[in-house]
Structure 1
Amino acid sequence: MRTYVARLMPESSVISPWHSDTLFGQICWMIRLCESEAVLNDFLDEYRAGTAPFVISSGFPNDLLPKPMLWMRQPSTGDVSKKEGITQAREGKRLRAIEFLNETEFLRVIRGEAIDHLSDSKVPGKAMEVFHNQINRLTDTTAGSGQLYSRDETFYEKESDISIYLKINETWVAPLKRWLELLGQTGFGKRRSVGKGFFRLKEFEPYDKFDNVPNPNAVIYLSNCVPATDDPVDGRYRLAQKYGKLGNAYAACDNPFKHPFIYLQPGAAFRISGVVKPYYGRMIANIAPAKKEVVQYGLAFAVPAVFR
């Protein structure tokens, strides 16, 4: 599998987070709509057989990457005064609050290099609470109470982009690029029908900067991951729970809700022994009670790293 980076330029506000499982699900809908249901089933059968055509990361803004949950090396300071100790404690608090690293910092961290200073990388995009009214379709006015509600939307600055990393078997490179282009034209995530989540595929090119890690003994996940039974367990991670919902044509079924599941968030770090695998995690079957054929993407794009 060869690593690629796809850079998406948002052309509207976005409601749904750029999660790897959401991206994968919407690419599956592009396959079903643009090819056929039979092509989609053959595509998913490869995942069921353990031969993934591609693995996708979550989306990260402007080449930023999640701060790895590693025991990060810092320069040795030896004995320090009380004042210096307080300064170091404050710096430690600042470091814990950092969510993303720039590309240079991330590459140094995964190579096990000591870091003198981590910058406060500015995350493009601003989350705003947008208010709406429910309209009575018969009277074309609001109801008596107004039925005011709000929804969080993210608005991106001009020239901002979202970077998505992929490991792809070469035969799938051209189709995947086309499906991403079509996804951008139809919208990503919630409220696509009213213009949310539109983007332009700015770049789609090979990426080799994760390959130069000498003697890796760990992996960093860049995706939402549902661990498999043989995945590494010695590591650091954060858990989250998702209450998923079926989309597109399936959203109109009697029960559009999926079973809730717990996943590891991007930045999870695990020690390994032996060769770094291209990906970890698993697909979840029987996730949607009303649609038994639906599977949930839980594979993790894995980056080799060095634990010190």
Structure 2
Amino acid sequence: MQAQTCRFTLQPRSAFGTALAGDTLFGQLCWAIRERFGEARLTALLAGYTRGQPFLVVSDAFPAGLLPRPSVPDFLLGLDVDPAQRKQARQRTWLPAADIGRPLREWLERATAAPHQRHDVLTQNTINRLTGTTGTGPFAPRQVARTTFAAETRLDVYCIIDATRFALDELAQVLGDVGHTGFGRDSSTGLGKFDLLVRTEQTWPHTASRHALSLAPCAPDPTRTEASACFYQPLTRFGRHGNLAALTARPYKRPVLMMRTAAFLTLREPGIPPFFGSGLGGIDAPISAAIPATVHQGYAPLVPLDAELRP
């Protein structure tokens, strides 16, 4: 695989009903590839996906110029003493990407709180056309989450592509398609719109460390990690199909267990690869009864870390 890492900077043009998570965005990009280049091209790109040969790995969307704080115990960040200090420091959840090469114990000196974005919970209704009002069951009022960004907000998405199979210009095309039609829930009513501003080749500071930060939810590969030196939070994905498959009688996929974004990983061998994880689904281990060939992104881009594990 000829791995190439690129950073895309996006500008939100509307509120979002679904968080811009890497595995969810990957799924919508696959539908966009099918729409633009045809189903045969998508099938060819997905060949070998569950055998460690992804053509594309996508990160979550992060505030521009920032990376998430890893899910590590406080002592690894130098917070050993004052509980009040630890509570205040937990609000500083983002680190400037330019400082990613600094030792992990110095991160909090430069970490910052979350940028300005508002998370709301709204009441949504569906009208029963027979009665002209709401009711019970599918017509009962429900609560939905929505994220609104400040006008100056920019988001960074890190993508790793196999340049021999999928060109960077093609990725920019389908990413722009997703931004135009809308990402995630309620895109048909105007949510999830964004513009693609710039793309930049991304390189991380070289380190001989075996430690890394994951930039998307991923399915762990225990054969490549030291379990006693990894820290993460679990995540259960209750996925569903998108595009036209969302309108079928069986739109839901089987739940999958993953590690949340910002996992702290320790690999058995030095030298951090561009991505980590396992491809999920496919004919051999289907996660969808409706479309057995469906895959789920179980890979995540990795960022090398300068960390020292000591109590």
**CA separation of 1:156 and 1:202: change in aligned 2, threshold 3 A:** same
Aligned to 1:296: 296
Aligned to 2:207: 214
Counterpart residue type for residue 28 of structure 1:
C
**CA separation of 1:194 and 1:225: change in aligned 2, threshold 3 A:** same
Are 1:149 and 2:146 matched, yes or no?
Answer: no
Task: Quote the RMSD (CA, aligned, Å).
Answer: 2.3
Displacement of 1:118: 4.4
Higher mean displacement: 277-286 or 29-38:
277-286
Counterpart residue type for residue 109 of structure 2:
H
Counterpart residue type for residue 142 of structure 1:
T
Are 1:126 and 2:118 matched, yes or no?
Answer: yes
1:26 alignment partner, SS class: helix
2:170 alignment partner, SS class: helix
Distance 1:144 1:93 in 2: 44
Counterpart residue type for residue 88 of structure 2:
R
Aligned to 1:168: 161
Out of 237, 261, 280, the position equivalent to 2:276 is 280
Distance 1:144 1:241 in 2: 31
Matches within 5 A, 1:49-64: 49-64=51-66
The 8 Å contact of residues 30 and 183 in structure 1, kept in 2 or not, is answered as yes
Distance 1:218 1:24 in 2: 25
Matches within 5 A, 1:37-56: 37-56=39-58
Displacement of 1:203: 1.4
Distance 1:107 1:57 in 2: 19
Displacement of 1:104: 4.0
Distance 1:157 1:236 in 2: 32
Distance 2:179 2:7 in 1: 16
Q: Which runs of 5+ in 2 are unaligned?
A: none
2:173 alignment partner, SS class: helix
Displacement of 1:236: 0.7
Distance 2:223 2:108 in 1: 36
Are 1:98 and 2:92 matched, yes or no?
Answer: yes
The 8 Å contact of residues 133 and 142 in structure 1, kept in 2 or not, is answered as no
Higher mean displacement: 59-68 or 89-98:
89-98
Q: Which runs of 5+ in 1 are unaligned?
A: 78-84
1:52 alignment partner, SS class: coil
Q: Which has the larger radius of gyration?
A: 1
Displacement of 1:60: 1.1
2:172 alignment partner, SS class: helix
Aligned to 1:181: 176
Distance 1:142 1:107 in 2: 58
Counterpart residue type for residue 246 of structure 2:
A
Aligned to 1:20: 22
Please list the CA deviations of residues 115-164 of structure 1 after superposition, one character each: whole Å capped at 9, or x if unmatched.
4624442322101122232223356x323688433311111100202211
Displacement of 1:254: 2.1
Please list the CA deviations of residues 5-29 of structure 1 after superposition, one character each: whole Å capped at 9, or x if unmatched.
1111111110111111100000000
Distance 1:280 1:289 in 2: 27
Displacement of 1:267: 1.2
1:16 alignment partner, SS class: coil
Distance 2:108 2:170 in 1: 43
The 8 Å contact of residues 102 and 306 in structure 2, kept in 1 or not, is answered as no
Counterpart residue type for residue 76 of structure 2:
M
2:209 alignment partner, SS class: coil
Distance 1:144 1:277 in 2: 53
The 8 Å contact of residues 77 and 108 in structure 2, kept in 1 or not, is answered as no
Displacement of 1:182: 0.8
The 8 Å contact of residues 213 and 262 in structure 2, kept in 1 or not, is answered as yes
The 8 Å contact of residues 271 and 307 in structure 1, kept in 2 or not, is answered as no
The 8 Å contact of residues 102 and 121 in structure 1, kept in 2 or not, is answered as no
Higher mean displacement: 126-135 or 234-243:
126-135
TM-score normalised by the chain length of structure 2: 0.86
